[in-house]
Structures are given as C-alpha cells and as structure tokens.
Structure 1
Amino acid sequence: MRRLIFATLLVLCGSFTAHAQTLQGILQTHVDEVAKPSRRGVAIVLDDLVASGLPQATPFLEQWAERNVWQRDDGLFFIVTDEGETLTLKDVDTGAALSGAKEAFSQVRPNGGVRRAIGTALVQFQLSDPEISRRQAAVDSIARRGTAEQLAPLRASIAGETDPDLRARKEQLVNFLAARFSDDAAERIAAIKGLSGDISVETRAVLNQILTIKDGVATQEPAGNIAALRDPTQDPEAAYAELVAAKLAPPRQTASEIRAVLEANIDAGRVGGVPLAQLNTIPAREQAYAALAAADLAPELITEAYRNSAIDAHVFYTLYDEDDATVTAAAEAALAEVEARVGRATFVDLTLDALSLASIFFLAAIGLAITFGVMKVINMAHGEFIMMGAYTGFVVQQFIPNYTVSILVALPLAFVVTFGAGVLMERLVIRHLYHRPLETLLATFGISIALQQLAKNIFGTQARPLTSPDWLAGAWVLNDVVQISYIRIAIFVLAFIFLGLILFILKRTRLGLEVRAVTQNPGMASSMGINPDRINMMTFGLGSGIAGIAGVAIGLYAKVTSEMGADYIVQSFMTVVVGGVGNVWGTLAGATLIGFGQKGIEWLNPSNTLAAQTYMILLVILFIQFRPRGIVALKGRAAGDD
C-alpha cells in the first residue's frame, strides 16, 4: 500500500511538473494576471516566462504585446491569426491550428505600461535567439532605451554570442548599462573609466546622463551630492523669481497692483499720508504703499532692499541627480578626457576636410595656372572646360554601364575632348588677342556664356548624375568624429598623381623644357629655335585637358550642370594668384592655403558656407596687398619682369 501511494504521488508530481513546464501551464498558474494584466501584476508572469527558457515564450510575448492573445471560456489562452465570426487560432505551445466561435473567446488587452514591460521581457528572450536578426533587434532596442533590468540578461548573453561584431556591441552596451545602473559603486566607476577612451556620441550621452543636474534653493545648504553653489548676485531678478517659484518669498508687486491698493485706500485726498497730487512719481507711490503696509492695510512692499535681503538669506545650489559623489567625480573626469579626445579628433577631421578641399582646388586650378602663367591669358571659360569634362563622364556612362570601366574611359576621353576644345579656342580666338588682357577677358567671358547655353540646349537644365563605382561608395570612418568619403580620398590621390605627372612633363620632357623657356623669356626662347606660337597652343590645350579631367573627378561628388564651372572659376583664380602665377608648387601651396583657410572659417561659422567663401576672398585680397606675386614667385615673363 505504501509503495502504491508513493508511486501515485510520483506520477502526480511528474504530471504537475510537465504541465508547469509548458507555456500554457505557466499561463494558467497566473491566469488572472494574463487575462487582465496590470503593470505590477504582469511582472510576476514575465519573471516566470523568462525563467522557463521556453522557446515558444518569444512568439507568445510578441503576440501578447500586439493584442493577438485571446482567452477561451475554459480559461485557456490561444493566439488568434485571423479574426472573423469564426476565429482562426493557434495553440501557444504546439502551434497547432484550430478554430472556434468568437463568442466563446475574449480578447486580452494589455495597456501601454504592460506592453512596455512585455517589450522589456521580450528583449531578454531575443538576446539569445538563434536568429541573428532577432538578437540584433534586441541589442538595438537596449541601445535606444536601456534599463537596469536589462543589464543581467545582456551580460549573460555575451558568452554564447557567436557573431564577433554583435558580441563587441553587447560588451559596449554592458559597459554603458553598468556605468549607469550597477548596484556596485566600484563596478560603476570601473565602467565609467573604461568609457574615457570612447568618443562616440553614445558614450558622451551616457556620461551626461550620469551627470544630470537640477537647480535648487533652500534656507541652508542641502545634504546630497552638490555639483556647485551658484552666485545669485549675477542675476538678482532671476534669483528672486526662483525664490518665489519655490514658495520661499512672496511675489513682487506689479505697478498695476500697487496702483489698485492705493486707489482702494484714498482717504480725504490722501493715501498713506501722501497727497494725491504728489503720487505722480514711483518713489511717492512706494512711500504711500509702504505707509499702508505699516498700518496692515496692504502686504509688505517688495523693494530692492527686501529682494536682496531675501536672496542673502538663502542658498542657491546645483545638485547632481546621482547621489554617489565618487561616481560623479569619475564621470566628470571621463567626460573631460572624452571631450579632449573629441577636440583632437575634430582637428584631424577638419584637417582631412581641408586637404580634400585643397586637392579639389588644385585639380580645378592647375590647368589655369599653366595657361595663365605661360600665356598671360585670363581665361574666364576655364570653368566651362571643367563642366565639359563632367558631361563627358556622364555621356560615357550612358554607353558603358560598368561604372568602374566608364570612369577609366572617361578620364582620358575628357582630356582629349577638352584638349581639342582648348586648342580650337586658342587658334580661333586667343591667338588674336595676345597682350590685350581686357579683350581676352571679355572674349573668354562671352565664350563661357555660350558654352553654358550650349550645354543647356544639349543636356537640359536638370542636374545629371555622374555615378561613382561601388568601391568609392561610403566613407572611411575612423570613429564618430573622423570620417572622409572614399570619393574625396580618390580625388586627393588623383591630385597627387597629376602633381607628379605635370612635374614630370615640365621637368623631364622637351615640351616641358620649351614651356619653361617661353615662360621665363619668350624672346630668348624664340631665338633658340622654339616656336612660341606652337608652345602657346599646346600649353592652352594641356591646361584645358587637365581641367576636363578635373571635371570628371569633381562631377563624382558634385552636381553636374551647365553652371558648375562658375562654382570653381573664382577659387581657381584665387588659387593661382595666391600660389604664384605659372608655378606648379605655387598652385599647390595656394590650394592648400585656401582650402585650409575656407575650412577654418567654416568651422568658426558652420551654418554659412557662402559667408566662408566671401571672407576667404577678402582675406585673399588682403594677402596680395602684402605679397602681390604670391607664395612662390617666378622670375621672367610670368612674374611681369619682361
């Protein structure tokens, strides 16, 4: 008999254990809390679900939060997949499909607070979900709204994380949550110190949340973690208003309130002993009001002396929301280190931006430097050669869909097209206007307008895309502060390639030798058998061709329109003039100076790029007053010595 009873008990216990380890069993244990959930009662249900580790708990929580859980008359819960006169249901444990009459079920409707609690529990399940997308979603949810309850499950999920990037992200978030919510002060301080090497926006947000403060005022210095004691004498009116808001002082009477009290206490042509005829000044009204207050006929007048006395009798302070002073001290030190690192990173980022802008200016101006330096021609159509190069790249991409190949084809083709256009322009117009700078300026300005209109007639007024290859998409990101697009890096590299190529042509080839000879002394070069007319033609074509290649490079990140050349002609002339006319190194120096100068001004006034360009022009004008020949001045015709 004893054995039979013992065996029966074992069966019953086993049956109960098996029932409790099903999701439905857990729900039936807390049937009232599930059917009519409240913010406090649902916590018990969620704790049991989390502790169970059942895989079916995750989809149930998702459906519960979406109000897709219904209860049958017998108390069992189901997930509704389709609602109509007949409900399409799914078993919470097995997922088996079934149906039932709608009147036999009631919908479970958790409120907003309960749904947020369910969402927090759901995140804990998702942190160890087999699908990486669910784990990533859970981590993203914690990053958006981290709470103290998420620290333990997040930390526990790290050991089983197989994805290295997601594991690193979890470790970072654990550090964030530990710094804010850990119960161990030593752990919080260690986590905060660990944040001092991270300059991300999230890190700064975490440290600032630890260092949140609130202003207060009291009759004596309060207990707690005081951030600072404030000096109320800096703004007495604001300080007294703070006293009034804290109900520590009566509000000051307004002029209308004083007048109403005086009018209510007129007696035999006097108020407070002051004749009505004398109440035309503020001191007289205050004197009468003070007399009424002394006779208990009005509240005490809040004078400046009263205000100052009330301010002196109170302590104005700023209090940390965090009670532990060691934690806030560690956070302040970490934030100071982070801000210092951010400052250094900002300087690096600004330097990279300035180098990128300088390389663009160099590419845009080097062709102009060659033509202007050798020929003394003020070519106002130089920007249109840049535009022609960009449109050449666009046309090539219409025939070659592979963007890498199309760019490789467009670069030499743009040189050929703009080289030919430059030679044609020099032969038809420029050669007849040598030594007549004003006529040359007007003629090239007219040509620039004509080329713009021609581009509008062919390509329209809408901006055309010049698409970069996929390997140039995105940016090189070092951290949250320092980053530069791959296109700008490519332009920077291209600028250095052209610097080397032009130096090779000018220093190592016969054409370069003849160009330098004509630049320094055209008369002597002619007597040595060099044809200055031919050199001028080739030089103008070379400068125009380089402008075309610059157009392809610039078009990869800027808009390609008929007016795009006008955006660079002013900077090109500034670069040439500042650097030194006709000198490659001078052009590089000028582009660097203008690029860094413009980015520096933009940093001081980041909301207005046009203003930065304007200030840069003014600085260039000031610069050439002191150094008219530029940074690197040449002797000979290019320097105006002939």
Structure 2
Amino acid sequence: MVRVLLSLMWLLASVSLASAQDLQSILQTHAQEVAKPSRNSVGVVLDDMVASGLPQVPVFLEQWIARSVWQDDATGLFYIASEDDNTLTLRDVDSGEETTASSEVFSQLRPNGGVRRVIGTALVQFQLSDPDPVRRQAALDSISRRSDASQLEPLLAALAGEDDPALRARKEQLINFLTARFGDDPEQRVAAIASLSSDTSVEARAVLSQILAVDSGVASAQPAGNIARILDPMEDRAASYEDLVEAGLAPAIVPASEVRAALEANIVDGRVGGIPLAQLNRQDRRDDAYRALARDGIVPPLVTQDDITTALQNAVFYEVYDEDDPIITNAARATLDAIQTRVGWAQTLDLTLDGLSLASIYFLAAIGLAITFGQMGVINMAHGEFIMMGAYTGYVVQLILPNYTVSLIVALPLAFAITFGAGIVMERLVIRHLYHRPLETLLATFGISIALQQIAKNIFGTQARPLTSPDWLGGALVISDVIQISYIRIAIFVLALVFLFALLYILKRTRLGLEVRAVTQNPGMAASMGINPDRINMMTFGLGSGIAGVAGVGIGLYAQVTSEMGANYIVQSFMTVVVGGVGSVFGTLAGAGLIGFLQKGIEWLNPSNTLAAQTYMILFIILFIQFRPKGIVAPKGRAAAD
C-alpha cells in the first residue's frame, strides 16, 4: 500500500513538473482570465507565468500586449498568430510550430490599456535579465516611464548579474529613484534622496517633485498632517471663497440677478420684506429687504464683501504633502533646493556657451567686413552676398563629391578662391571709382547685393538648399541634462579662432599686412615708399571677400542656404565692426562677443519673442555708441585722428 502511494505521489510530481514546463497548460488553467482579463484577475495568471521561469513566457507576454494572441473556439487552445485576409498563421506558444487556419473559428484576445500596463510590468521582470542588452535597455526605459513600487525588487535582483557598465549604472540610478519614492525603510529613503543631490537630470528632479507633491485644502481650524505651507486667501479672494463654499464652510454668493428676481417675486401689498417699494431705489434698502426675506427662510442668505472677508480670515487655507512623513519631505526639499542651485549654475554655463557660439558666428560673418570696412573704409552692402556665395559653393561641391568630409575640405579653399576673385572683380569695376565717397559706395554695393541675390535665385531657385555636415559633426557634446552644445557650433568656434589667428598673422607678420596698414594710415607716404595703393586696395578687398566666402561655408552648415541668407547677417556684421572698433581685429572680436552674449541674454529674459530681443539689442547698441562712439577697442595714433 505504501509502495502504491509513493508511486502515485511520484507520478503526480512528474505530471506537475511537466506541466510547469508547458506554457499552454498554465494558460489553460486560467483560460477564462486569459481570454477576458481584467486588471484584478490578470495578476493571478501573471504570477504563475513568472513563477514558471519558462523562456517562452516573455515572448507570449509581448504578443499578448500587441494583441497577437488568438484562441481556438473549439479546443480553447491559445496561439500566437498573424492575420492575412481571413487566414491566420498560427504559432504554438511552446514549440513554435507553425500552422494555418481560418480566422473565423478563432477569437482574438484584445486586452484593454489597463491590462496591457499590468502585463508590461510583468514583462519587465523577464527583460531585466534578458541576455540581449537591447531588451534590458528597453525594460529600464519602461520602468523610467512608468515607475511602480513593484519594480524595485526585480531591479535589485537583476543588478547582481549585470555585466554592462552603462546598464548597471542605469539600474543603480533607477533603484535610487524607486527607493526614494517607494522604499519601506525611512532611513533608506532619506539616504536615497540625499544621493540625488549631485544628479541634475530631469528624472531626478521629477522624482523629488513627486515626493513633494501636494494637495490644497481648506479647514475651519489648523489641520493635521504633513503641512507644506499655509496659503494667503487674499491673493485670489474669489477663488478662495469658492473653495470655502465647496468645502461647506460658507454660503454661496447670490448673484445680483437672483437677488432682483427674489425681490420681485416677494412683493406683498407694495412692500418687500416690510420695506416699501418706493425705498428700493437704493442699494442698501434692497439689501435690507433681501436680508429680511432670508431671515424668514424664503431665500438663501445674502453674502456681502465684508462677509467674504470675515469668512476668509476665519478659515485656514493650506497645502498638505501626499507624503505623510515630514522627515522624507524635508530631505526631499533640501535635496531639490541643492539640485536647483546646481541647475542654475549649469544653465548659466549653458547660456554662456550659447552666447559664445553666437559670437563665433557673428565674428565669422564680420571678420571679412572688418577688413573691407575697417581697414579700407568701404561700406560694402554686398558683403552678405559673399557669405551666400560661399555657402552655395559648399552646396555645389557636395553635389559633385557625396563624401561630406571630403567635400567640406574641398569647399573651404574653393569658396575662398571664388569669393576672392569676385571681390577683386567688384573692386576693379566699381569700388575703385568710389573711394572716399561713402554714400555712392553704399548705393552701388546695395544694388550689387540685390543683383547677386537675383542671380542666385535664377540659378538655385528660392527654396533652401541643404549643406550637410559630416557625420562626425552630427549630434552634440552633452555634458549634462542642462549643458550641451552641438558639434557644428564647436566647429564654427574653432573656425573663428583659426580666422582670428590667421588674420592677425597676415596683418602683423607678412609683407601684405604691412603694406595694408601702410596704405590704410597714409596712402601718399606708402606710394612714395614704392607701394602700389591700387594693388593693395584690390588685394585687401579680395581678402575680405574671400574670408566672407569661407565663413559662408561654416555658417551654411548651421543655417539655411538661401539667396537671402546674407541679408540676415549684414546688419549684425556692421554692428559688430562698429561696436568693436573700426579697423581693429580684436575690436571685431570684442564686438561679436558683446552682441552675441547680449542677444542670448535678452532672449533668455524674453524667450517667446526673438524679434523683440533683436530690437532691444539694437537700442542698446545705439545707446552704447552714444557714450563710446569709437567702439570698445578705439583706434590709436594716426588712425584715430582719421
């Protein structure tokens, strides 16, 4: 008998073990809950699936969420299926064997959104330890989007076996977040909250904000609980009194129309509330009549402004934390304040980088003008079109050379050569006849500017053309969640530095630079020393135009390449040169820095209106020039006298 019982027990254990390795058996055990799940009933099914540890469970859960699970109406078996017309391609949930059948004898499982979220939470437990790092990352992303107390234990269990450093750090961060919000031990929660003080990420701030979430309320006396702050009801009397009425602590305000209707409805023998009709032409008597009706219970009581003030002063308006433990909320508040301080410094640094980037762009756009206008005194309104020509040169080169790195290397010197030649042609044909005649030069170059824009429209059309940066310039340098700068802007900054040092070298260390400075300061004396002023003027104008062309390639990587793109920079270029100091390279650099940082600062104060920011910037520059007409770096010596 004992031997028979032992045999039966062994047989039952074997059957149970076999069933544990069979997902279909688990599904059949809970067939009703699987076919028509609810948020309350699906948990039992998921617990059994998780406990089984079967490798096919996460696949089934993924398909269940995607509504790709079907049930055979005749046998009740569940399959993973895809539908094509009225034909289903069925896959066995355990073996993966595929068959086909008509969809008319199958029912599709359609769990609602709430059930899918519960299934997704269970699926995360499998994905956290999945061999595929992509799946583990997806599980962590899911936890970060929908944090829940039930996810803390699976995360802790999955941490020990994590061999990927990045994923391990992410798991530790999420464990900190979940412990801070849902931990059972207050000391552990406080420690987790304190560890977030150096984390300036949006997620960390969101966790602390959720711990510090509050509900507003009103009471007749000081309330109990973890009070966040006491509110001043006088800041918004109307809204505060509505809260009192909703809480049942004050009578509702009777509208004037209802007061009038009540008085009209209760006229008895020429009186209302004992007051003759002839006296109701005064507000105070109408109020007295209405109060008399209210004392008799005929109408609701009248609420005056004095009554509202008294009611508000006698009530307590407050905000109470959702978190009951004040130790937790105090720690969260202190940590969030520390993070906000760090974020403030980070935002300042980020704003500084933005200003530096914009200053680099303005310096690139203005450095060529600093030569033609600053050194030669020529007001060249077509300077922006040389920038445009350089940008279009880069675009054409990319059409010929699809390798963006090679095309960029070719485009930079080619843009210089083309715009250098265009500048020389312009100087020989137009500018040389207009020296020392600034008004005529301005009008002539303005006409050339319009002509060049129209030529560009005829050749390239009116649509913006792409000047694509190489892959190594894509993306951004991310220092933190707050501080980041695109690689293109870094490249433009480097290009601006290269131009700065190259131009300083040319002007200070080369024969051409010496001759340019000589002709600029005293053309007659320079000519007597054997220098040809006409040739130097031509070369100087060509150099400034060529630099504008190279700047156009750099700016084109950042801005849209259109026929009007030069017009967007001509005003800032002239402001940069004038504010910095005419004739000074360092002045141009200082002017670009002032204008770039000023514009970014104004945009930060008024981020919704960039046009207003530019207007305020121009007004500031006008005032600046009134007090310092020679610019930041004023010319010295004979140049200053000129």
Same structural fold, with TM-score higher than 0.5 when normalized by the shorter chain: yes
Supply the distance in 1 between the matched residues of 2:431 and 2:412 (Cα, whole angstroms).
26
- DSSP-derived class of the 2:320 partner: strand
Supply the distance in 2 between the matched residues of 1:487 and 1:83 (Cα, whole angstroms).
48
Kept in 2: contact 1:70–1:80 (CA 8 A): no
Q: 1:442 corresponds to which residue?
A: 443
TM-score (norm 2): 0.95
Kept in 2: contact 1:415–1:549 (CA 8 A): yes
Kept in 2: contact 1:195–1:203 (CA 8 A): yes
Question: Displacement, 1:81?
Answer: 4.5
Q: 2:6 corresponds to which residue?
A: 6
Kept in 2: contact 1:519–1:637 (CA 8 A): no
When residues 303 and 595 of structure 1 are mapped into structure 2, their CA distance, relative to the original with a 3 A threshold, is: same
Residue type at the aligned position of 2:289: A
Q: How does 1:418-497 map to 2 (within 5 A)?
A: 418-497=419-498
Supply the distance in 1 between the matched residues of 2:298 and 2:49 (Cα, whole angstroms).
70
When residues 375 and 60 of structure 1 are mapped into structure 2, their CA distance, relative to the original with a 3 A threshold, is: closer
Q: 1:43 corresponds to which residue?
A: 43
Q: 2:168 corresponds to which residue?
A: 167
Kept in 2: contact 1:374–1:638 (CA 8 A): no
Supply the distance in 2 between the matched residues of 1:442 and 1:418 (Cα, whole angstroms).
21
Supply the distance in 2 between the matched residues of 1:133 and 1:356 (Cα, whole angstroms).
36
Q: 2:16 corresponds to which residue?
A: 16
Kept in 1: contact 2:581–2:633 (CA 8 A): yes
Question: Displacement, 1:75?
Answer: 5.2
Kept in 1: contact 2:69–2:78 (CA 8 A): no
Question: Displacement, 1:583?
Answer: 0.7
When residues 181 and 458 of structure 1 are mapped into structure 2, their CA distance, relative to the original with a 3 A threshold, is: same
Q: 1:183 corresponds to which residue?
A: 184
Question: Displacement, 1:638?
Answer: 4.3
Residue type at the aligned position of 1:571: Q
When residues 427 and 178 of structure 1 are mapped into structure 2, their CA distance, relative to the original with a 3 A threshold, is: same
Residue type at the aligned position of 2:164: D
Residue 330 (structure 2) pairs with residue 355 (structure 1): no
Question: Displacement, 1:35?
Answer: 4.0
Question: Displacement, 1:618?
Answer: 1.2
For these two proteins, the number of residue pairs brought into alignment is 641
Kept in 1: contact 2:230–2:318 (CA 8 A): yes
Runs of 5+ unmatched residues, structure 1: none
- CA offsets, 1:259-296, max 9 Å, x none? 12211221222222322222123222112112222344
Supply the distance in 1 between the matched residues of 2:100 and 2:458 (Cα, whole angstroms).
68
When residues 451 and 260 of structure 1 are mapped into structure 2, their CA distance, relative to the original with a 3 A threshold, is: same
Residue type at the aligned position of 2:553: V
Q: How does 1:185-224 map to 2 (within 5 A)?
A: 185-224=186-225
- DSSP-derived class of the 2:291 partner: helix
Supply the distance in 1 between the matched residues of 2:229 and 2:393 (Cα, whole angstroms).
64
Residue 156 (structure 2) pairs with residue 152 (structure 1): no
Residue 254 (structure 2) pairs with residue 246 (structure 1): no
Q: 2:117 corresponds to which residue?
A: 116
Question: Displacement, 1:71?
Answer: 5.1
Kept in 1: contact 2:370–2:585 (CA 8 A): yes
Residue type at the aligned position of 2:496: A
Residue type at the aligned position of 1:237: A
Kept in 1: contact 2:83–2:103 (CA 8 A): no
Supply the distance in 2 between the matched residues of 1:267 and 1:361 (Cα, whole angstroms).
83
Residue 304 (structure 2) pairs with residue 299 (structure 1): no
When residues 234 and 562 of structure 1 are mapped into structure 2, their CA distance, relative to the original with a 3 A threshold, is: closer
Q: How does 1:31-430 map to 2 (within 5 A)?
A: 31-65=31-65, 66=67, 68-70=69-71, 73=74, 76-82=77-83, 89-98=90-99, 108-430=109-431
Supply the distance in 2 between the matched residues of 1:512 and 1:106 (Cα, whole angstroms).
85
Residue type at the aligned position of 1:20: A
When residues 36 and 465 of structure 1 are mapped into structure 2, their CA distance, relative to the original with a 3 A threshold, is: closer
Q: 1:26 corresponds to which residue?
A: 26
When residues 85 and 508 of structure 1 are mapped into structure 2, their CA distance, relative to the original with a 3 A threshold, is: closer
Segment of structure 1 superposing worse, 221-230 or 299-308: 299-308
- DSSP-derived class of the 2:593 partner: helix
Residue 507 (structure 2) pairs with residue 509 (structure 1): no
Question: Displacement, 1:24?
Answer: 2.9
Question: Displacement, 1:87?
Answer: 6.0
Supply the distance in 1 between the matched residues of 2:399 and 2:89 (Cα, whole angstroms).
54
| Aligned-pair identity (%) | 70
Residue 550 (structure 2) pairs with residue 542 (structure 1): no
Segment of structure 1 superposing worse, 146-155 or 294-303: 294-303
Residue type at the aligned position of 1:551: G
Residue type at the aligned position of 1:126: Q
Supply the distance in 2 between the matched residues of 1:533 and 1:583 (Cα, whole angstroms).
22
When residues 261 and 162 of structure 1 are mapped into structure 2, their CA distance, relative to the original with a 3 A threshold, is: same
- DSSP-derived class of the 2:548 partner: helix
Supply the distance in 2 between the matched residues of 1:584 and 1:86 (Cα, whole angstroms).
76
Supply the distance in 2 between the matched residues of 1:548 and 1:240 (Cα, whole angstroms).
67
Kept in 1: contact 2:373–2:582 (CA 8 A): yes
When residues 416 and 263 of structure 1 are mapped into structure 2, their CA distance, relative to the original with a 3 A threshold, is: same
Supply the distance in 1 between the matched residues of 2:541 and 2:102 (Cα, whole angstroms).
88
When residues 75 and 421 of structure 1 are mapped into structure 2, their CA distance, relative to the original with a 3 A threshold, is: closer
Supply the distance in 2 between the matched residues of 1:368 and 1:135 (Cα, whole angstroms).
56
Segment of structure 1 superposing worse, 43-52 or 558-567: 43-52
Residue type at the aligned position of 1:146: S
When residues 86 and 255 of structure 1 are mapped into structure 2, their CA distance, relative to the original with a 3 A threshold, is: closer
Residue type at the aligned position of 2:465: R
- DSSP-derived class of the 1:214 partner: strand
Runs of 5+ unmatched residues, structure 2: none
Question: Displacement, 1:67?
Answer: 5.5
Residue type at the aligned position of 1:433: L
Residue type at the aligned position of 2:302: L
Supply the distance in 1 between the matched residues of 2:294 and 2:7 (Cα, whole angstroms).
93
Question: Displacement, 1:575?
Answer: 0.6
Question: Displacement, 1:624?
Answer: 0.8
Q: 1:625 corresponds to which residue?
A: 626
TM-score (norm 1): 0.95
Q: 2:635 corresponds to which residue?
A: 634
Kept in 1: contact 2:61–2:119 (CA 8 A): yes
Segment of structure 1 superposing worse, 108-117 or 352-361: 108-117
Supply the distance in 2 between the matched residues of 1:105 and 1:392 (Cα, whole angstroms).
64
- DSSP-derived class of the 1:202 partner: helix
Supply the distance in 1 between the matched residues of 2:548 and 2:117 (Cα, whole angstroms).
60
Root mean square deviation, CA, Å: 2.1
- DSSP-derived class of the 1:463 partner: coil
When residues 520 and 253 of structure 1 are mapped into structure 2, their CA distance, relative to the original with a 3 A threshold, is: same
Segment of structure 1 superposing worse, 178-187 or 414-423: 178-187
Supply the distance in 2 between the matched residues of 1:627 and 1:88 (Cα, whole angstroms).
81
Residue 580 (structure 2) pairs with residue 588 (structure 1): no
When residues 183 and 361 of structure 1 are mapped into structure 2, their CA distance, relative to the original with a 3 A threshold, is: same
- DSSP-derived class of the 1:318 partner: strand
When residues 499 and 105 of structure 1 are mapped into structure 2, their CA distance, relative to the original with a 3 A threshold, is: closer
When residues 99 and 2 of structure 1 are mapped into structure 2, their CA distance, relative to the original with a 3 A threshold, is: farther
When residues 257 and 545 of structure 1 are mapped into structure 2, their CA distance, relative to the original with a 3 A threshold, is: same
Segment of structure 1 superposing worse, 221-230 or 123-132: 123-132
Residue type at the aligned position of 1:134: R
When residues 84 and 514 of structure 1 are mapped into structure 2, their CA distance, relative to the original with a 3 A threshold, is: closer
Question: Displacement, 1:15?
Answer: 2.6
- DSSP-derived class of the 2:531 partner: coil
Question: Displacement, 1:185?
Answer: 1.7
Kept in 2: contact 1:81–1:89 (CA 8 A): yes
Residue type at the aligned position of 1:163: D
Residue type at the aligned position of 2:58: T
- CA offsets, 1:132-188, max 9 Å, x none? 332222222112111111111122122222332222222222222221112222222
